[in-house]
Amino acid sequence: MSAISERRERERAHRHQLIITAARELAETEGWEAVTTRRLADRVEYSQPVLYSHFNGKEAIVSAVALDGFGELAAHLRRARQAAAPEEALRAVCLAYLEFATERPALYQAMFILPTDLTFASTETPPALRAGFDEFVSCFPPDNERRELFAEVLWSALHGITVLSESGRIPPDRQEDRLDFLVTRIAGAR
């Protein structure tokens, strides 16, 4: 393989990431409904068809953004857990989760609300998806046989709180009270 085609491959990989970050920025500033293939192509200064040489379709682009998001979420939760004392880990991780969701609403939408190509709970599940969930699991002692179940319910509750308050179905204030209640109730199971 020549040096030129190596360079082209590098440029291609770079452009691949450029599309992803452009989609994310556009979504974060103007919302996902503003992310059209035309506007996206404009942003990266290429024509529409090049998007399709990198991704199978718009859904695949959203999925790529979501995948990045899962990686960041996992790192964010991990930092929070490790910075806290063990008995405070549960609370810290939950707080970090709500922070992440409210500070990056567009990213969170790509991860949990918009339709994507990502497959969960399967052998092909990307590691980043698993990693975030594992942070919740790690808040419970290893000898607890039901820790996975606890983590699932905890995660569900946090997700529910996030989207119901985001969409105005429950009052947006009092988030801290909800967190308090949730953590103290669930922590008893630790």
Footprint (CB under 8 A) of a second copy, residues 49-68? none
Tokens of 73: 């979420």
> Is residue 75 near a second copy by the rule CB under 8 A?
no
Q: How far apart are CA 184 and CA 63, in angstroms?
A: 35
Residue 14: CB minimum distance to a second copy, A: 31
| All residues at 6 or more sequence positions from 172 whose CB lies less than 8 Å from its CB, including other chains | 165, 166
Computed from CA positions of residues 142, 146, 150, 153, in that sequence, does the dihedral angle turn out positive or negative? positive
Cβ atoms of 77 and 96 within 8 Å: the answer is yes
C-beta closer to DNA: residue 53 or 125: 53
Question: Which of a second copy, DNA, none does residue 188 bind (CB under 5 to 8 Å by kind)?
Answer: a second copy
Cβ atoms of 88 and 64 within 8 Å: the answer is no
Interface residues with DNA (CB under 7 A) are 2, 4-5, 8, 12, 35-39, 46-50, 52-53, 57-59
Footprint (CB under 8 A) of a second copy, residues 94-113? 112-113
**Where along the sequence are the contacts to a second copy (CB under 8 A)?**
112-113, 119-121, 146, 149-150, 152-153, 155-161, 163-164, 167-171, 174, 177-178, 181-182, 185-186, 188-189
